[in-house]
């Protein structure tokens, strides 16, 4: 559940980004390697409560602001934190975010699935598309083995239940409840979370939001397309004023992420942005760099 973003930061081209920031990886309780199994009856924190723990982490590390990178539940937790602490969050990269609470139909479908499927099977169905699972690639085999043989599977089930009981973020474009920082939304084409991420994009400020739908990347683009996602991340950071001297060599030589207009420019109004993978473009304008850190969930 929480390991999803780790391989991305181990990717070779990502090292150029990491050397410019202090990186902190945050595990949800009981998700860390070697975590003991919680006792029977343990009340696992809600996702809202997990978001409320982040200020203590930042205070301990003496950080005043962050750029958050989260996948799935981690993306939701970081978004909840950003809504309550907007001055602390400089930017967010949200992969596979679902900002909505489960409706009655979703709840019923989840209960029915639980009668015929094991927890590992339901988690795999959440992470990957049915096409990917049927293809049973090396990546699928690896993660199936990880989930099936996880020594803390009972803990994972508690976290899974908290995720499925999440509250609606109630995001509203132009309303009081919205993410005020720059946001990059990422999802794979035909991924299980595609519709949820598209809906999230429709609820955010188009002048502050970049939407990256990655072709041929499946349910976990940070695992299947780390190179393209890294380049998009560099663009995102440059738009925030960081890494002004970074060279987009991969972009200049090959077909990777580029910036295209998703809305026309009207006078001095900024345009919304959609990141695609079909053409080339120069880096975003950059301003003076500041101090920040990255939190991955």
Q: How confident is the model at residue 282 (pLDDT cuts 50, 70, 90)?
A: very low
Does the pLDDT at position 57 exceed 50?
yes
pLDDT category of residue 17 using cuts at 50, 70 and 90:
confident
State pLDDT tens for residues 77-93.
Answer: 999 999 999 999 999 99
**pLDDT at site 270:** 38
CA torsion, ordered 158, 159, 160, 163, to nearest 10 deg: 130
Q: What pLDDT, on a 0 to 100 scale, did the predictor assign at position 90?
A: 95
Cα–Cα distance measured from residue 212 to residue 222, given in angstroms and rounded to the nearest whole number: 12
Integer Cα distance of 4 and 77 in angstroms: 14
Identify the CA nearest to 255 among candidates 227, 290, 233, 213.
227
pLDDT in tens, 244-275: 766 554 444 333 333 333 333 333 333 334 34
**Spatial CB neighbours of 214, under 8 Å, sequence gap ≥ 6:** 186, 187, 188, 189, 221, 225, 228, 229, 277
| CA–CA dist 131, 190 (Å, integer) | 9
Whether 261 and 273 have beta carbons less than 8 Å apart is answered as: yes
The DSSP element (H or E) to which 122 belongs, if any, is helix 119-127
How do residues 112-168 score in pLDDT, each as one tens digit? 555 456 888 989 998 998 889 999 899 999 999 989 999 999 999 999 999 999 999
Position 204 pLDDT exceeds 50: yes
Supply φ then ψ for residue 175, to 5 degrees: -95, -175
Residue 68 to residue 51: CA distance in whole angstroms: 12
Query: Which residue in the block uniquely carries the two structure tokens 């602001």?
Result: 65
Position 105 scores a pLDDT of: 59
Q: How far is CA 31 from CA 4, 26, 36, 105, 151, in A?
A: 12, 10, 9, 29, 10
Predicted pLDDT of residue 20? 84
| pLDDT mean over 213-241 | 91
Closest of 231, 232, 180 to residue 209, by C-alpha: 180
Confidence tier at 6 by pLDDT (50, 70, 90):
low
Segments of the chain assigned E as strands? 22-25, 66-71, 89-95, 183-188, 209-214, 258-261, 273-276, 293-296
Find the mean pLDDT for residues 236-241: 92
User: Can you tell me whether residue 293 is helix, strand or coil?
Assistant: strand
What structural domains and CATH numbers belong to the chain?
43-101+166-248 (3.40.50.1820), 103-154 (no CATH)
Do residues 97 and 120 make contact, with C-beta atoms less than 8 angstroms apart?
A: no
Residue 33 pLDDT grade (very low, low, confident, very high; cuts 50, 70, 90): confident
CA–CA distance, 149 with 7 (Å, rounded to integer): 20
Distance CA 84, CA 66 (A): 14
For residue 158, give every residue at least 6 positions away whose Cβ sits within 8 Å of its Cβ, in sequence order, or none: 30, 38, 42, 44
What is the rounded CA–CA span in Å between residue 258 and residue 275?
A: 6
113: number of Cβ within 10 Å: 12
């Amino acid at each position: 559940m929480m390991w999803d973003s780790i391989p991305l930061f181990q990717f070779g081209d990502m090292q150029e980004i990491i050397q410019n920031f202090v990186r902190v990886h945050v595990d949800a309780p009981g998700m860390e390697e070697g975590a003991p199994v919680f006792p029977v009856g343990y009340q696992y924190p809600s996702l809202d409560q997990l978001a409320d723990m982040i200020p203590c982490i930042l205070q301990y590390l003496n950080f005043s602001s962050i750029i958050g990178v989260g996948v799935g539940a981690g993306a939701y937790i970081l978004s909840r934190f950003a809504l309550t602490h907007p001055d602390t969050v400089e930017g967010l990269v949200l992969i596979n975010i679902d900002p909505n609470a489960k409706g009655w139909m979703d709840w019923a479908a989840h209960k029915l699935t639980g009668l015929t499927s094991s927890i590992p099977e339901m988690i795999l169905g959440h992470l990957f598309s049915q096409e990917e699972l049927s293809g049973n690639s090396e990546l699928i085999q690896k993660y199936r083995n990880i989930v099936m043989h996880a020594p803390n599977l009972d803990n994972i089930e508690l976290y899974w239940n908290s995720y499925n009981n999440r509250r609606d973020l109630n995001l509203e474009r132009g309303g009081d409840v919205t993410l005020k920082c720059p946001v990059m939304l990422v999802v794979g084409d035909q991924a299980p979370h595609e519709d949820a991420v598209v809906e999230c994009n429709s609820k955010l400020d188009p002048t502050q939001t970049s939407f990256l739908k990655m072709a041929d990347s499946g349910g976990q683009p940070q695992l299947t397309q780390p190179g393209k996602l890294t380049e998009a991340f560099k663009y995102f950071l440059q738009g925030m004023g960081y890494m002004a001297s970074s060279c987009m060599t991969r972009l200049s030589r090959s077909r990777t992420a580029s910036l295209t207009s998703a809305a026309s420019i009207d006078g001095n109004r900024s345009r919304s942005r959609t990141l695609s993978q079909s053409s080339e473009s120069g880096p975003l304008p950059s301003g003076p760099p500041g101090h920040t850190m990255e939190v991955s969930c």
